[in-house]
Structure 1
Amino acid sequence: MKKTLLLLSLVAAPALAGEGKWTPQQVLELDPAWLKAQGLQVSPKRLWDPKRGTGLLAGAVNVGGCTGAFIAESGLVITNHHCAFSIIQEHSTPQRDLLTQGFLAKGREEELPGKGARVQVPRSFTDVTKEMLAAVPEGADDLSRQKSLERKDKELVAACEKRPATRCKVASFDGGLRYVLIDSVELADVRLVYAPPRAVGEYGGEVDNWMWPRHTGDFAIIRAYVAPDGSAAQYNAQNVPYKAEFFFPLATEGVKPDDFVMVLGYPGTTFRALLADEMAERQARYYPRLIDVYGELIRILEEEGAKDPAGKIAVASNLKSMHNRYKNAGGQLAGLKRGSLVEKQRAAEAAVVAWAEKRKESAGALKARTELLAQQAEKAKTFEREFLLDVLKASVKGPSLAVTLVRLSQERAKPDLERKPEFMDRELPRLKDRLEREQKNFFAPADKRMFLALVRRAQTLGESERIAAVDKLFGRTYAEKEVSAKIDALYTASKVLDLTERQKMSGETEAQLRARKDPLLDFGFDLAAEVVALDELRDRRAGASARLFPEWRRAVLAQAGKPVAPDANSTLRVTFAKVKGYSPRDGAFYTPQTTLAGVMEKHTGEEPFDVPDKVAAAAEAKRYGPWVDARLKDVPVNFLADADTTGGNSGSPTVNGKGQLVGVNFDRVWENVSNDFGYNPDVARNVNVDVRYVLWLLDQVEDADALLRELGIRKGPKAQERR
């Protein structure tokens, strides 16, 4: 490694159990004797080699918003069913519904390529704090500050990505207190190997989502491929499996209560460093509004999807994502209230203020906090407009695609380093994939109804929060028949929603797009103008935050006097845990494991508790094979641990002290959803698929002999049987 990032000097290691999403470099600062006492049986230096900047932790890979883990040298990756959902959906039709039926490739030639699917394997981490901060001119205002930081970010990434098949990013820690350049190799040929039926991968559906006890087989197996010479390459029939340096063998003995485990992965975003007022805003406005708006959109998708088999498949991915965010928001609100998290943050903040007031050197931190509070109050004035504009440009395919095409034409006219990051040349292949893939997610009746619902909401906004593009096209007062007729006409006359035409548009200039006189594009131009203005406003806010927040954060860390892990930011982390049950409420205790018998107890024959016939047959015949747990006298299905996880940890490998995979993380319990704002050891529990359930399904249900041999579970020839 060129330079090692040590965010904190970690001492008093026993205080770290459970809480903390630690960077690979921080692991090396933990007391090895303490780690050994917890249950780690490999050397910490096997987890991460500071000289090479890699190690066993690099067996956990980024699979695009989720985590996966290599489980064989031959490029096999295990992740969640819901993380591989887009590949399964891509190859599903009403005639061959892989979502419902599941999929098993009998040989490598049957594995299904995923459009736009990627696997990123971490290679090195470099501290670039000095370079980033030096890029900000003396006396720069907040907008210039942000643009300077963004420019330097892009320059560092561009230099890093001169190596072929490389994906780099600059990650900010503690709001700009530290910056780290992360270098990963990107594998662009990713294929589906196995997915269980949806009634296994989503067993319990939204009823059980975020709940315990759980009985869900939320896993899938994919494979990464490279060119014959070992270099990363796009899909080609001649490609060969990627040879993984680090992978996690499957621990056939599984886990038992109180066992030590580690969860490795790429947790997305947590909010533990927010000011109390910022937390209060999310509690009072953001989550309630999300529940309100998404609740309506979910109803629309469900109603329209139920009318048409093809429509049901088309809306499935968006519906799944919205359901997850909707229920998460409810859990956040319940947890914030139950744990009094805003009040606790306010008290903790007051303690830092009191500490800082006694130290002259901390005057800057107090001034920074005052400015941050003022910025939060100002932002609250336009909350409703910004929230609705974000939903409109992201959730409704018509406007979303139109805005993307318009922005692409405008940004492509600029030099690459002057574009917004999402429109740089490095992102164009992903944009192209998205513009194509969205056709699979588009169902006109549902899309038009969602558009109608959001226009209705936009036309009720206050005078200072109007969305001009909506007012221009639909007027300032809502009349359902008229608005609906305009949306119908818009979609009928537009070519944006035709895949072939959209692909042509993606290469056209702004002038060429305007010359088309396409009504949906015209709306996209008007909406894009407001998006650009909002982007600039948010850049100014981000510049202010980058100036102020590190100053405040230094005081917080100094006052704490103990290790404090930085908030999650989609970078590689590890959390140490034990397999544990918990008490959700007075008088109740949940054990940490569920079994196959529990799956069948929930079986009603109707969604979301409809066990597939082949699974039910094996369970009822008690064909447990070698996967029965002697203590439970049954096949374990899911288990709990007190790991510190969040979104992005979906698909994370849960491994034992030997570095063997014992499970796949896929959820948190309802009482722990608000873990994003603060860790509570009493209820902080993550939910994992037990590796023995994975193996039972492959062995006793699917008879996936060749795959089991490749995984080293059955003896005999491996690779040749998978060709």
Structure 2
Amino acid sequence: MKRILLLLTFMLSFVQLRADEGMWLLTMIKRLNGVDMQKEGLKLTAEEIYSVNHSSLKDAIVQFAGGCTAEMVSKEGLLFTNHHCGYGAIAALSTPANDHLTNGFWAMKKSEELPAAGVNVRFMVRMDDVSKRINAKLNNNMSADERKAIIDAEYKAIQAENSENGKYTVVVRDFFNGNEFYYFVYQDFKDVRLVGTPPNSLGKFGGDTDNWEWPRHTVDFSVFRVYADANGNPAEYSPSNVPMTPKHSLPISLKGYKPGDFAMIVGFPGRTNRYLTSYGISQMVNKDYPAWVESSKLAMDVMKKYMDKDQATKLDYASQYASVANYWKNRQGTIDAVEKNNTIAEKKALEDKFMTWALLPENVETYGGVLEDLKANYAQISNRNVERNYSSQLQRNAKYITISYQLGSLLKTYADQDEAGKAAMKPKVIAAIDKVYDGINTKLEGEMLNSMVNLYQQRVAKDVASPTLMAADAKNLSTLAFSSVFATKESAMNFVNNPDRLKIDADPMLKLADGYVNDQKLGAEKFAKVDEAFAKNNRMFLDGLRKSQPQTDFYPDANSTMRLTYGHVATLPERSDRKYFGISEKDNYYTDVTGMVAKYKKGDEEFDLPQRFLDLVKKKDFGRYKDKKGFMPVNFLSDNDITGGNSGSPVMDGNGNLIGLAFDGNSEALSGDIIFDKKWQKTINVDIRMVLWTIEKYGNAGHLISELTLVK
């Protein structure tokens, strides 16, 4: 009886998850929280949100460029996403003479829309749960290799069963650390064209200073169009392609909102670690993220030095710099938030309760030692994880290493061909060279190589470091790079025209790149057994955690699959150091254009504003887009649960009408990927009325508004 009472007390001690916490798979909505959502203000049925046989909300939501979300807003293939999601494409389409990133761009007719090379959008056709099918063939006594072989075979079979001979892309993902499995059927469209973008001074207003901070005043949107062939099917870019017709496009509401109004977001959140243990969080904030922060800040400093000197370099590196800067601030903010919010202590308290359950006689054999084993795993991989963080930033930013590795084997193969073989390969080789050297500043890259390798040598423990990098002369690596076949596009092309296998084999940069990659492979093999145990222990811990809380509806961590999160338009708790720029604290759920003007600093890279924008605001020429209270809204807050990858996601009211685009979170809750903070966690959104006003009034592109379905 005592044991039963202990277990009952333990079960009741867990707090039920808040209704607005969680990034839910769309097939879970009806089973888990459809009724809750109806009570909160949802007017749609589960079938209207997700349906296989009929048009539904999911058909208007796409994954954009692999790392963001966008929404279809017209029957002519028009889509909205964030400015920072389209940033790379906009920068790539810009030149110093035709600088769309700085000046903005609006296509006044479809023939003026610009093909965004490399950008694709992904529609989800359907998904299904295959957990029973796969788990029936698995058991906990299998080795990692045995388990992987079975899972890979099932993945391959499921993909073949659902791809319809290549018509669809089929992706199978594991959930809950490998305890469940779902497959997703996608259709990918590759002809995507830039239709419109505000200038950088609006789309990125506030820059790095305001990033992750509230109040925000950022007009963070861009407009693209999806094209298809004459039959509506995906196709590579062709002038003969036509705007595709989505199964569903979102109506747009001009009604406005108030605190407490229902808000729903559907998108493709990247990755969360909500079930990470206290040991994992400690490793992350004390070792892994500090390494990320230090190495990314160094890379930013090198880029900024050369970007400030030359507009072409600024455009070429704009997207890379923005991405590195975003994660740099995010990682540092996560460290600060975990410390401030006492996150590790909260996790330890939950783990103590788990252990109470795990040590019961019926559970102890399977789950009793899992947490202690995980603690030991982290001790084993701690230095290796730090190396991974320095290494990941080196690979991301020191392009001479990636260029040498990517081209090296190709040029070796080319050099080995007879004359006929060389002639056949040459177009492919030239295309590869054109691609990797596009937008490269060699002086920047030489300094980046020296700096990143030098930092790696100083910070990484020798027992886990790459011997190749540790032996390199970091101060003079740029000299090696500049003497290499891979120094410039011209030197690489010179090799193509005068191929010499002995020369490529002896190339110093190729030796460095090949040695480094080989070191990484050997390091992975060294830790294979530890990683195998680590994966199993994580899987077992989450399996036990779910069983210990049968009254709780668990949601899976984000993994770039479509999710729904719901909540409300919300305010942030008062903070003494927060300036609201004319908005009262009780109304701090929104910002308006007067706040933008209050922040305006002429000539400042982050807070400058176009004169046309200032003139329109001065005239109060807001038309039908101003709020019924008279202000022109810019951004607003909701308490939805999102993460990276949700950028560009539609924020919708209870009827599925678009009211905004999600683009950021707030600094107080940057630990949100680890734990949901019900008090502080908010989503920052650009008001859809600001989007439409910018298109029509600022951009003089009212013809685009005529494509939309507006709900007044």
Candidates 625, 628, 644, aligned match of 2:626: 628
1:280–1:342: 8 Å Cα contact kept in structure 2? yes
Query: Does residue 21 in structure 1 map to residue 10 in structure 2?
Result: no
SS in 2 for 1:67: strand
The corresponding residue for 2:404 is: 402
Question: Are the structure 2 counterparts of residues 432 and 374 from structure 1 closer, same or farther at C-alpha, using a change threshold of 3 Å?
Answer: farther
The corresponding residue for 1:103 is: 105
Q: Provide the C-alpha distance between the structure 1 equivalents of 2:701 and 2:354, rounded to a whole number of angstroms.
A: 58
Alignment of 1:261-340 (within 5 A): 261-340=263-342
Query: Does residue 694 in structure 1 map to residue 691 in structure 2?
Result: yes
Q: Provide the C-alpha distance between the structure 1 equivalents of 2:314 and 2:616, rounded to a whole number of angstroms.
A: 30
Question: Are the structure 2 counterparts of residues 447 and 495 from structure 1 closer, same or farther at C-alpha, using a change threshold of 3 Å?
Answer: closer
Moved more, 334-343 or 149-158: 149-158
Query: Does residue 569 in structure 1 map to residue 569 in structure 2?
Result: no
The TM-score, its normalising length taken from structure 1, stands at 0.86
1:227 deviation in Å? 0.8
The corresponding residue for 2:455 is: 457
The corresponding residue for 2:251 is: 249
The corresponding residue for 1:495 is: 486
Query: Does residue 226 in structure 1 map to residue 225 in structure 2?
Result: no
1:41 deviation in Å? 1.4
Q: Provide the C-alpha distance between the structure 2 equivalents of 1:394 and 1:470, rounded to a whole number of angstroms.
A: 16
SS in 2 for 1:336: helix
Q: Provide the C-alpha distance between the structure 2 equivalents of 1:344 and 1:388, rounded to a whole number of angstroms.
A: 29
Alignment of 1:434-473 (within 5 A): 438-460=436-458, 461-473=460-472
Letter of the 1:698 partner, please give it.
I
SS in 1 for 2:382: helix
Q: Provide the C-alpha distance between the structure 2 equivalents of 1:104 and 1:217, rounded to a whole number of angstroms.
A: 15
1:441 deviation in Å? 4.4
1:586 deviation in Å? 5.9
User: Unmatched 5+ residue regions in structure 2?
Assistant: 1-13, 414-428, 579-584
Question: Are the structure 2 counterparts of residues 229 and 384 from structure 1 closer, same or farther at C-alpha, using a change threshold of 3 Å?
Answer: same
1:18 deviation in Å? 1.8
1:540 deviation in Å? 4.9
The corresponding residue for 1:531 is: 520
The corresponding residue for 2:237 is: 235
Question: Are the structure 2 counterparts of residues 172 and 327 from structure 1 closer, same or farther at C-alpha, using a change threshold of 3 Å?
Answer: same
Letter of the 2:651 partner, please give it.
T
Candidates 572, 585, 589, aligned match of 2:575: 585
Question: Are the structure 2 counterparts of residues 361 and 332 from structure 1 closer, same or farther at C-alpha, using a change threshold of 3 Å?
Answer: same
Question: Are the structure 2 counterparts of residues 384 and 78 from structure 1 closer, same or farther at C-alpha, using a change threshold of 3 Å?
Answer: same
The corresponding residue for 2:8 is: none
Question: Are the structure 2 counterparts of residues 487 and 366 from structure 1 closer, same or farther at C-alpha, using a change threshold of 3 Å?
Answer: same
Query: Does residue 703 in structure 1 map to residue 695 in structure 2?
Result: no
1:448 deviation in Å? 1.4
Question: Are the structure 2 counterparts of residues 280 and 473 from structure 1 closer, same or farther at C-alpha, using a change threshold of 3 Å?
Answer: closer
Question: Are the structure 2 counterparts of residues 354 and 53 from structure 1 closer, same or farther at C-alpha, using a change threshold of 3 Å?
Answer: farther
Query: Does residue 599 in structure 1 map to residue 593 in structure 2?
Result: no
SS in 2 for 1:278: helix
Query: Does residue 680 in structure 1 map to residue 681 in structure 2?
Result: no
The corresponding residue for 1:55 is: 56
2:55–2:248: 8 Å Cα contact kept in structure 1? no
SS in 2 for 1:523: helix
1:494 deviation in Å? 2.1
Question: Are the structure 2 counterparts of residues 15 and 104 from structure 1 closer, same or farther at C-alpha, using a change threshold of 3 Å?
Answer: same
Letter of the 2:624 partner, please give it.
P
1:168–1:181: 8 Å Cα contact kept in structure 2? yes
Q: Provide the C-alpha distance between the structure 1 equivalents of 2:67 and 2:261, rounded to a whole number of angstroms.
A: 28
Letter of the 1:241 partner, please give it.
P
Q: Can you list the C-alpha shifts for 1:577-610, whole angstroms capped at 9, x where unaligned?
A: 1101111536974710000111111111122111
Letter of the 2:510 partner, please give it.
L
SS in 1 for 2:187: strand
Q: Provide the C-alpha distance between the structure 1 equivalents of 2:701 and 2:211, rounded to a whole number of angstroms.
A: 28
> What is the total number of aligned residue pairs between the two structures?
672
Alignment of 1:107-186 (within 5 A): 107-133=109-135, 140-143=142-145, 145-146=147-148, 149-150=151-152, 152-154=154-156, 156-157=158-159, 160-161=162-163, 163-186=165-188
1:54–1:124: 8 Å Cα contact kept in structure 2? no
Q: Provide the C-alpha distance between the structure 1 equivalents of 2:532 and 2:406, rounded to a whole number of angstroms.
A: 25
1:363 deviation in Å? 2.7
Q: Provide the C-alpha distance between the structure 2 equivalents of 1:630 and 1:137, rounded to a whole number of angstroms.
A: 61
Q: Provide the C-alpha distance between the structure 2 equivalents of 1:406 and 1:459, rounded to a whole number of angstroms.
A: 24
1:401–1:496: 8 Å Cα contact kept in structure 2? no
Q: Provide the C-alpha distance between the structure 1 equivalents of 2:151 and 2:251, rounded to a whole number of angstroms.
A: 42
1:172–1:569: 8 Å Cα contact kept in structure 2? no
1:154 deviation in Å? 4.7
1:236 deviation in Å? 0.6
Candidates 662, 666, 675, aligned match of 2:663: 666
2:88–2:318: 8 Å Cα contact kept in structure 1? no
1:53–1:123: 8 Å Cα contact kept in structure 2? no
Q: Can you list the C-alpha shifts for 1:493-535, whole angstroms capped at 9, x where unaligned?
A: 3237529958999xx9xx9798564432232211221232344
1:514–1:522: 8 Å Cα contact kept in structure 2? no
Question: Are the structure 2 counterparts of residues 36 and 381 from structure 1 closer, same or farther at C-alpha, using a change threshold of 3 Å?
Answer: closer
Candidates 363, 367, 370, aligned match of 1:361: 363
SS in 2 for 1:696: helix
Q: Provide the C-alpha distance between the structure 1 equivalents of 2:261 and 2:638, rounded to a whole number of angstroms.
A: 9
Q: Provide the C-alpha distance between the structure 2 equivalents of 1:434 and 1:263, rounded to a whole number of angstroms.
A: 39
The TM-score, its normalising length taken from structure 2, stands at 0.88
Q: Can you list the C-alpha shifts for 1:237-281, whole angstroms capped at 9, x where unaligned?
A: 101111100221111223222211101111111111111101110
Letter of the 1:615 partner, please give it.
F
Q: Provide the C-alpha distance between the structure 2 equivalents of 1:356 and 1:169, rounded to a whole number of angstroms.
A: 34
Q: CA RMSD in A?
A: 3.1
Q: Provide the C-alpha distance between the structure 1 equivalents of 2:514 and 2:175, rounded to a whole number of angstroms.
A: 35
SS in 2 for 1:238: coil
Q: Provide the C-alpha distance between the structure 1 equivalents of 2:521 and 2:16, rounded to a whole number of angstroms.
A: 48
Q: Provide the C-alpha distance between the structure 2 equivalents of 1:543 and 1:287, rounded to a whole number of angstroms.
A: 23
Question: Are the structure 2 counterparts of residues 496 and 156 from structure 1 closer, same or farther at C-alpha, using a change threshold of 3 Å?
Answer: farther
Question: Are the structure 2 counterparts of residues 287 and 614 from structure 1 closer, same or farther at C-alpha, using a change threshold of 3 Å?
Answer: same
Q: Provide the C-alpha distance between the structure 2 equivalents of 1:714 and 1:273, rounded to a whole number of angstroms.
A: 41
1:687 deviation in Å? 0.3
2:268–2:560: 8 Å Cα contact kept in structure 1? yes
Candidates 193, 208, 211, aligned match of 1:209: 211
1:54 deviation in Å? 7.2
Q: Provide the C-alpha distance between the structure 2 equivalents of 1:620 and 1:302, rounded to a whole number of angstroms.
A: 34
Q: Provide the C-alpha distance between the structure 2 equivalents of 1:409 and 1:242, rounded to a whole number of angstroms.
A: 40
Query: Does residue 549 in structure 1 map to residue 548 in structure 2?
Result: no
1:537 deviation in Å? 5.1
1:128 deviation in Å? 2.8
Moved more, 456-465 or 59-68: 456-465
Question: Are the structure 2 counterparts of residues 253 and 562 from structure 1 closer, same or farther at C-alpha, using a change threshold of 3 Å?
Answer: same
Question: Are the structure 2 counterparts of residues 375 and 14 from structure 1 closer, same or farther at C-alpha, using a change threshold of 3 Å?
Answer: closer
The corresponding residue for 1:6 is: none
Q: Provide the C-alpha distance between the structure 2 equivalents of 1:56 and 1:216, rounded to a whole number of angstroms.
A: 27
Question: Are the structure 2 counterparts of residues 32 and 88 from structure 1 closer, same or farther at C-alpha, using a change threshold of 3 Å?
Answer: closer
Question: Are the structure 2 counterparts of residues 221 and 436 from structure 1 closer, same or farther at C-alpha, using a change threshold of 3 Å?
Answer: farther
Q: Provide the C-alpha distance between the structure 1 equivalents of 2:632 and 2:248, rounded to a whole number of angstroms.
A: 29
